[in-house]
Amino acid sequence: MLTRSFVIGLRVVTVVAALGFTVLPGEAQKYVAPRTPWGDPDLQGLWSNQTATPLERPDALRDAATLTPEEAEEREEAARLSADRPPAPGDPGTYNAFWRDPGKALTRTSLIVDPPDGRLPALTAEGRERIAARAAATRVRASVNPWEEYPAWTRCITRGVIKIGSFYSSSHQIFQAPGYVVIAQELINESRIVPLDGRPHLSPAIRNWMGDSRGRWEGDTLVVETTNFVDKNPLRGSGDTMRLVERFTRVGPDAIDYQFTVDDPHVFTRPWTAVMPMTTGGPIFEYACHEGNYSIRNMLTGAQ
């Protein structure tokens, strides 16, 4: 039987010296990534992207783009231990700090690096209308069938392509073969098969929960462009018109510089970019989302 201390020991990651994990071009060039037998940069392995650093810069830190390493470590530990607070009256509580993945303390105060203020850009008028229409449609579905009200996360369908602040099951495993990269995510056991042969995206009429990914190499950086999303699991307001561009660059034996850019002119007034650390992690365990999960049944019973 696996003990929690054993699991934590397996999941402990090597934190890069630069806690902010923003890699300058000159720094990246100092490390030569290993190669696969067919010559591509080797990204294979188990990686974790867990960090308590929020996507957007908090209002309390609006004028502070960075923290000291000591401040960053304190905030990371405080976020983990916050799960140990007693739940509110009538709340049965949830996972405590015992079950949470150890995170990487970042000296940046937000994952978003562009815009420079660390905040999501403003919504377009169309974006505001789309979000309002989506909320109205959800209310209609909920009045007919309460099952439709619950998000894809709760229904164990998908957690989406980008995992931000999950606190657990933060591991990813990258596999490579000639002409392909596979990115397997521990959450919901979802995997993306990314072809590298230059084939076009699927027809716009074909939509997927995880979108349709195509990859290419730009030097030592794997660039993955994903389109064809459904409109049911939006990322911070984006939906089926989102174009997601991810960049994976091996910058050390235990580190990948991971960046993603969301481009959705129908929703945001400009693209926005975030940088998340990926350091050695794992292992990946079975994610049995429905096993012993009575929440949906109980909520539906209450609604009926």
pLDDT digits (tens, 9 = 90+) for 190-247: 999 999 999 999 999 999 999 999 999 999 999 999 999 998 877 888 989 999 999 9
Higher pLDDT, 256 or 145: 256
Average pLDDT over residues 14-43: 66
CA distance 210 to 191: 9
Task: Write out pLDDT tens, residues 79-121.
Answer: 888 888 888 888 888 888 888 887 888 999 999 999 999 999 9
Average pLDDT, rounded, for the chain: 85
Task: Write out pLDDT tens, residues 173-193.
Answer: 999 999 999 999 998 889 999
Is residue 235 packed enough to be buried (19+ CB in 10 Å), middle (13-18) or exposed (0-12)?
middle
Most confident of 19-28, 132-141, 194-203, 278-287: 194-203
Average pLDDT over residues 127-147: 84
CA distance 277 to 176: 20
Q: Which of 3, 1, 175, 214 minimizes the C-alpha distance to 98? A: 3
Residue 261 has what pLDDT?
A: 97
Residue 165 has what pLDDT?
A: 66
Is residue 169 packed enough to be buried (19+ CB in 10 Å), middle (13-18) or exposed (0-12)?
buried
With a cut of 50, say whether residue 250 has pLDDT above it.
Answer: yes
According to DSSP, the β-strands at 221-227 and 190-195 are unpaired
Of the given ranges (9-13, 137-141, 275-279), which has the lowest mean pLDDT? 9-13
Residue 2 has what pLDDT?
A: 36
